[in-house]
């Protein structure tokens, strides 16, 4: 068997960082990362981005050396991704925060609304219903993180946890402050508005969960296999006929329902910001599907049927 030689250079300075000889031709990028770590322990595999061009895309861990457009002497460029943290840890942290923070305002703990309101309860039914819906949403997210989601990437940059938590925790506090405020006024159209909004919220939560289960079933445990998602016998998954990321469609729908229920401006702004971000993600995933699968259904849009 003819072995390869792998030279690893810094993508910015072009400084030689490592030279690996007698690398087997069927070695994967993941295995090369492990060899690189032996020379530079401070850069564990999850921190490494190896590429064929200094400004090119990162090679996948499962890419095989002999299948890359390189000779028997390969030059790879290294970029440090920074300190990493697992996706599970990030999700658990960013979702547990809003659950806890919202309840602080709901129970009106001291120093929030004034001494005379400490541990008092709202007389409006919608306030209690909103707490149930908000808590259910984040408990659902926590349980899905632990038992449903299968991540294609094990880690993400540590800095992201601060950005994500600021977003989720900050909006949770802002929403909860007004919804649970002693001077909060119920929705304009009363019980009818609340019931309609609750129906939207519940349907979208069920839809979101159904999509997550369908996506999980597409990827075997421990695999990074990607397949085209199709509708199943579950009616909530039929939205796959029209959009690539119905989980985002249902997620936005849930928050729209919550905004109608509470008639609260911070909730509406949270829904708008969330929709903007999820649209960006959905467009990215839609482009990836189109690029990867030639037979991808042409009628699908990223997030909103027929529009976007």
Question: What digits encode the pLDDT tens for the residues 10-29?
Answer: 999 999 999 998 888 889 99
Same domain, 123 and 267: yes
Q: Looking at the structure, do residues 103 and 13 belong to the same domain, yes or no? A: no
* Lowest mean per-residue pLDDT among 18-27, 123-132, 268-277: 18-27
Compute and round to an integer the Cα radius of gyration of the chain. Answer: 24
Residue 11, in any domain of the structure: yes
191 and 215: one domain?
yes
Query: Is the domain of 89 the same as that of 75?
Result: no
**Are 77 and 125 contained in the same domain?**
no
Both 239 and 91 in a single domain? yes
* Residue 251 predicted with pLDDT over 70: yes
CATH code of 18's domain: 3.10.20.90
Q: Are residues 153 and 250 in the same domain?
A: yes
Which residues constitute the domain of residue 207? 85-292
**Domains of the chain: total:** 2
CB 93 within 8 A of CB 161: yes
Is residue 192 domain-shared with residue 263, that is, in the same domain? yes
> In the listed set 47, 82, 117, which residue is the last one of a domain according to the structure?
82
Query: For position 151, what pLDDT does the model report?
Result: 78
| Residue 248 forms part of a structural domain | yes
Any domain includes 306: no
In this prediction the pTM is 0.87
Domain end position, chosen among 82, 112, 143: 82
Q: Does residue 75 fall inside a structural domain?
A: yes
Q: Is residue 304 a part of any domain in this protein?
A: no
Q: Is 115 found in the same domain as 234?
A: yes
Mean pLDDT, rounded, for 159-165: 92
Banded pLDDT at 3 (limits 50, 70, 90): confident
């Amino acid at each position: 068997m003819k072995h390869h030689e792998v030279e690893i250079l810094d993508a910015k300075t072009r400084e030689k960082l490592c030279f690996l000889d007698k690398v087997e031709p069927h070695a994967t990028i993941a295995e090369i990362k492990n060899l690189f770590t032996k020379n530079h322990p401070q850069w564990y595999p999850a921190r490494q981005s190896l590429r064929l061009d200094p400004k090119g895309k990162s090679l996948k861990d499962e890419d095989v050396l002999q299948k890359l457009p390189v000779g028997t002497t390969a030059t790879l460029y290294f970029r440090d991704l920074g300190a990493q943290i697992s996706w599970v840890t990030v999700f658990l942290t960013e979702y547990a925060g809003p659950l806890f923070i919202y309840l602080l305002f709901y129970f009106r703990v001291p120093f929030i609304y004034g001494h005379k309101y400490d541990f008092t309860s709202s007389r409006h039914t919608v306030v209690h219903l909103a707490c149930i819906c908000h808590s259910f949403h984040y408990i659902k997210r926590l349980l899905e993180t632990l038992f449903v989601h299968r991540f294609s990437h094990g880690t993400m940059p540590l800095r992201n946890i601060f950005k994500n938590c600021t977003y989720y925790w900050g909006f949770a506090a802002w929403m909860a402050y007004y919804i649970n405020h002693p001077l909060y006024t119920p929705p304009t159209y009363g019980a009818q508005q609340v019931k309609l909004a609750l129906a939207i919220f519940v349907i979208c939560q069920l839809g979101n969960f159904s999509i997550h289960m369908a996506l999980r079933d597409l990827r075997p445990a421990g695999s990074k296999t990607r397949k085209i998602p199709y509708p199943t016998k579950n009616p909530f998954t039929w939205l796959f006929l029209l959009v690539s990321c119905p989980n985002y469609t249902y997620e936005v729908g849930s928050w729209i329902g919550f905004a109608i229920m509470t008639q609260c401006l911070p909730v509406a702004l949270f829904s708008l910001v969330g929709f903007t971000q999820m649209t960006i993600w959905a467009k990215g995933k839609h482009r990836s599907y189109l690029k990867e699968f030639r037979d991808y259904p042409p009628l699908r849009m990223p997030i909103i049927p027929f529009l976007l």
